Amino acid sequence: MKNELLLQGGTRHAQPYRKIVRVLLIAAFLIVALYYLWTRGFLYFRYSRAVYTDYFWYRAPWLLLHVVGGIAATLTGMLQFVPAIRARYPRLHRALGKTYLGSVVIAAGASFYLVSTSQLGLPYAVGLAMLGVVWLSNSLMAWLAIVRGNVAMHREWMIRSYVVTLSFVIFRLVEDLLVKMNISSFVERKVLMAWACWAIPLFFTELILQFRKLN
């Protein structure tokens, strides 16, 4: 009995530290996301051939639409996970949710055109096309869940959706590391990240979501 009480006490004491570590990790990742938004995303608001390069220039409006939608989804999605907003400002939470869903639809829709005109091969195009499909599907499932009043399911699908929203961070971060380490060729890195940037994070997210239900 004494050992059980000691174990329970140790678990209670450990929980605040786990929460702190989790919050710090999430904050660090969001800082990285904001860094890539500032250095890579907002760059495309300078509408010029030099910025878009010859590869994207003839598709510049579609890329700009994709970037705008992606930035809006990233920023509004961050606010959706702030407990104070959900609790004190439910109308704002709903408005942000609608903005988030609309941004995902716009960004994913534009990405399908960009993918269809890609010149980096079928594996790369299919990887990014599936990213768009998964992004839309997760977001729509989150919306359907809340429309039907299933808050718990809504939260899980929103987590999955936002993990996919942040896939651009994983793509850029890992690609930059591969370039610095001189690993593989340009096309091979692009093909790898077209799949890995969303499939791997989503896999681990699902493991965590399901593991929490075992407790």
DSSP string, 139-171: HHHHHHHHHTT-HHHHHHHHHHHHHHHTHHHHH
pLDDT score of 13: 52
Residue 31 or residue 171, greater confidence: 171
For CA atoms 104, 44, 201, 209, give the dihedral sign: negative
| pLDDT confidence band for 52 (50 / 70 / 90) | confident
| Cα within 13 Å of Cα(27), Cβ side | 6
- pTM, 2 dp: 0.84
What value does the mean pLDDT of the chain take?
A: 86
pLDDT score of 48: 87
pLDDT score of 14: 53
Range name among 20-24, 43-47, 137-141, 159-163 with the lowest pLDDT average: 20-24
| pLDDT confidence band for 86 (50 / 70 / 90) | confident
> Tell me: the pLDDT tens digits for 121-172?
899 999 999 999 999 999 999 999 999 999 999 999 999 999 999 998 889 8
| pLDDT confidence band for 7 (50 / 70 / 90) | very low
Q: How buried is 146 (Cβ within 10 angstroms: 0-12 exposed, 13-18 middle, 19+ buried)?
A: middle
Q: Of the candidates 161, 141, 145, which has an alpha carbon nearest to the alpha carbon of residue 206?
A: 161
> Tell me: the pLDDT tens digits for 166-192?
998 889 888 989 999 998 889 999 999
- DSSP letter at 58 equals T
Residue 24, pLDDT above cutoff 80: no
